[in-house]
Amino acid sequence: MPVRNQRRGEDAIAAIRRRTPDLPALYAATSPHAEGGGFYGPRGPGHLGGPPAEQKLYRLLRSAEDAERLWRISEDLTRVPIPST
């Protein structure tokens, strides 16, 4: 029995991960509580799933130079110019 219960737990975690990755982006785009320039991600354990919450920027994303480079790459890959505000 313990193996079966453990397996169910793994299935539940996998289901949560499959169903929640898009929620932070949806929250950031549509919630009146989301702040411009905010960074949102899952608030569950290890930030791997769960409802959206504001997050601290990853250390590598705090550099203005790196942010500008990432923005340029995103525009190039999507072929969509994103106007600055």
Domain extents for the chain? 2-57
**pLDDT for 54:** 92
**pLDDT for 76:** 94
Contact yes or no for 40/53 (Cβ under 8 A): yes
**pLDDT for 78:** 92
Neighbours of 24 (CB within 10 A): 23
**pLDDT for 33:** 92
Whether pTM exceeds 0.95? no
Q: Spell out the per-residue pLDDT of the chain, length 85, in tens.
A: 333 444 455 444 454 455 667 888 889 999 999 998 888 988 888 887 888 999 988 887 788 898 888 889 999 999 998 777 6
- SS3 call for 40: strand
Q: Which residues of 33-61 are buried (b: 16+ CB within 10 A; e: fewer)?
A: ebeeeeebbbeeeeeebbebeeeeeeeee
